């Protein structure tokens, strides 16, 4: 049995993977060895392994993958970084860790399942070969088997995205929203049964991280933000989310965690795939754009390009919906209002991300805090929070 394991001590066998691929592609491969991916930032909330495959077929074998990616649930490294960011807060129990792992994995399976089944493959997600969640329990461990994007690369968070890349990313967001506004299947995805408990604990962590970061030089504006949000209403983030869940505000699919390591680029500098849909949810049409602008580009780019990017979004969304015989459900002015409304929640997630990254390899070099990287990331965060404070007249 041990010789058949793909990864030592993980109960997934080469026989099982060969069965999966044969069922999907009609040809049974020989399963080779597993290896870790080069980029250390990938798999921060999961175990990620590349597994080699060999299909023996007559003639052209280009349609058969040379390898696949196995994504196996584990939040260990991620929770360590969160604990580092939140200081003296009590560490989560093993039960809470398990609950978070299951929530994130099952959510990703749900959204990959819906997006993969779409007739039109305009949304750039990996090909999915197997989705084994914690509900059906057909494998001993929850796992996703997906396409390995060969000859692709990532952009470093601090290097950030250029103007041209941001416009390409908006095009991908538009494709996701056209899908959201012209299909119904995704609306059947039910929130995890434990989401309320998870969010209560997550909000408390975010509040602690906000207050801790507000003591950093140049980050004093976070005190104003915290005073007007967490301290006034500890449930403001949950209430924001409910606006989209209960229909008070029109929802689209929000990726929820769209930043540099989730976006793979091909050799022509086009987007090859967007990965890691673990916290996808019904949300604001401006959520993913705000996350990109607040974390993955310079302050100067954000200030200069926000309006042109929103204009581009609205024009492309209108054209995409019109091509399907659907009228865009917002006016351009309502999209500006959506942008303002979402600023408050997006700011909380931007602060959380910076606290998380500062305690992880993302903003470290050789295992030690990289002051230059932290300073640049914090400057982006500070500027975005200032925009929110000013937009909402916080005092």
Predicted confidence band of residue 86 (pLDDT cuts 50, 70, 90): low
| Lowest-confidence pick of 120-124, 330-334, 340-344 | 120-124
Predicted confidence band of residue 367 (pLDDT cuts 50, 70, 90): confident
Residue 94 has what pLDDT? Answer: 79
Predicted confidence band of residue 89 (pLDDT cuts 50, 70, 90): low
Tokens representing 114 are: 């819906």
Q: Does 224 score more than 80 pLDDT?
A: yes
Residue 338 in contact with residue 330, Cβ under 8 Å?
yes
Q: Does 116 score more than 90 pLDDT?
A: yes
Domain limits, the chain: 2-391
Tokens representing 197 are: 């408990």
CA 379 to chain centre: 22
Residue 44 has what pLDDT? Answer: 56
Residue 40 has what pLDDT? Answer: 45
Residue 137 has what pLDDT? Answer: 82
Residue 62 has what pLDDT? Answer: 84
Query: What is the overall mean pLDDT for the chain?
Result: 92
pTM of the complete model: 0.93
Residue 78 has what pLDDT? Answer: 46
The dihedral built from the CA positions of residue 78, 82, 88 and 94, taken in this order, carries a sign that is negative
Q: Does 333 score more than 70 pLDDT?
A: yes
Tokens representing 323 are: 């091509």
pLDDT in tens, 289-331: 999 999 999 999 999 999 999 999 999 999 999 999 999 999 9
Beta sheet of 67-73, edge-to-edge order: 30-35, 46-54, 67-73, 143-147, 128-132
pLDDT in tens, 33-58: 999 986 544 455 689 999 999 999 88
Task: To the nearest 10°, report the CA torsion of 192, 195, 196, 201.
Answer: 160
Q: Does 82 score more than 90 pLDDT?
A: no
Q: Does 271 score more than 70 pLDDT?
A: yes
**How far is it, in rounded angstroms, from Cα 360 to Cα 84?**
9
Residue 106 in contact with residue 192, Cβ under 8 Å?
yes
**How far is it, in rounded angstroms, from Cα 262 to Cα 288?**
12
pLDDT in tens, 283-298: 999 999 999 999 999 9
Averaged over 239-254, what is the pLDDT? 96
Residue 136 has what pLDDT? Answer: 82
Predicted confidence band of residue 90 (pLDDT cuts 50, 70, 90): low
Share of the chain above pLDDT 70, in %: 92
Residue 174 has what pLDDT? Answer: 98
Averaged over 183-212, what is the pLDDT? 89
CA 9 to chain centre: 28
Choose between 42 and 252: higher pLDDT: 252
Averaged over 340-350, what is the pLDDT? 98
**How far is it, in rounded angstroms, from Cα 18 to Cα 30?**
7
Choose between 364 and 118: higher pLDDT: 364
Mention every residue, 6+ apart, whose C-beta is less than 8 A from residue 118.
179, 183
């Amino acid at each position: 049995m041990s010789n058949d394991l793909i990864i030592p001590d993980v109960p997934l066998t080469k026989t099982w993977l060969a069965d999966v691929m044969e069922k999907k592609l009609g040809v049974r491969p020989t399963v080779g060895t597993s290896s870790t991916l080069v980029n250390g930032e990938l798999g921060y909330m999961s175990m990620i392994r590349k597994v080699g495959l060999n299909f023996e077929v007559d003639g052209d074998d280009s349609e058969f993958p040379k390898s696949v990616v196995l994504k196996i649930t584990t939040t260990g490294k991620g929770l360590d970084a969160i604990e580092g960011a939140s200081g003296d807060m009590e560490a989560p129990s093993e039960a809470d860790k398990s609950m978070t792992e299951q929530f994130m994995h099952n959510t990703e399976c749900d959204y990959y399942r819906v997006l993969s089944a779409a007739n039109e493959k305009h949304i750039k997600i990996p090909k999915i070969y197997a989705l084994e969640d914690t509900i059906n329990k057909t494998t001993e461990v929850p796992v996703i088997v997906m396409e390995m994007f060969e000859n692709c690369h990532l952009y470093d968070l601090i290097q950030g995205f250029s103007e041209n890349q941001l416009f390409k990313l908006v095009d991908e967001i538009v494709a996701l929203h056209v899908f959201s506004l012209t299909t119904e299947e995704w609306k059947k995805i039910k929130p995890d049964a434990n989401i309320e408990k998870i969010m209560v604990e997550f909000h408390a962590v975010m509040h602690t991280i906000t207050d801790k970061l507000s003591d950093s030089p140049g980050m004093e504006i976070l005190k104003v933000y915290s005073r007007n949000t967490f301290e006034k209403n500890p449930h403001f983030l949950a209430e924001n989310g409910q606006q989209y869940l209960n229909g008070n505000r029109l929802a689209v699919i929000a990726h929820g965690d769209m930043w540099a390591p989730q976006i793979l680029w091909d050799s022509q500098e086009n987007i090859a795939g967007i990965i890691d849909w673990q916290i996808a949810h019904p949300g604001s049409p401006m959520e993913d754009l705000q996350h990109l602008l607040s974390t993955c580009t310079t302050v100067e780019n954000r200030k200069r390009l926000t309006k042109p990017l929103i204009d581009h979004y609205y024009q492309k969304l209108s054209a995409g919906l019109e091509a399907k015989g659907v009228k865009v459900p917002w006016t351009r002015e309502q999209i500006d209002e959506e942008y303002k409304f979402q600023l408050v929640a997006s700011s909380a997630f931007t602060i959380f991300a910076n606290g998380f990254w500062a305690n992880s390899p993302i903003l470290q070099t050789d295992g030690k805090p990289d002051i230059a990287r932290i300073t640049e990331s914090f400057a982006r965060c500070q500027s975005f929070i200032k925009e929110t404070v000013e937009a909402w007249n916080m005092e």
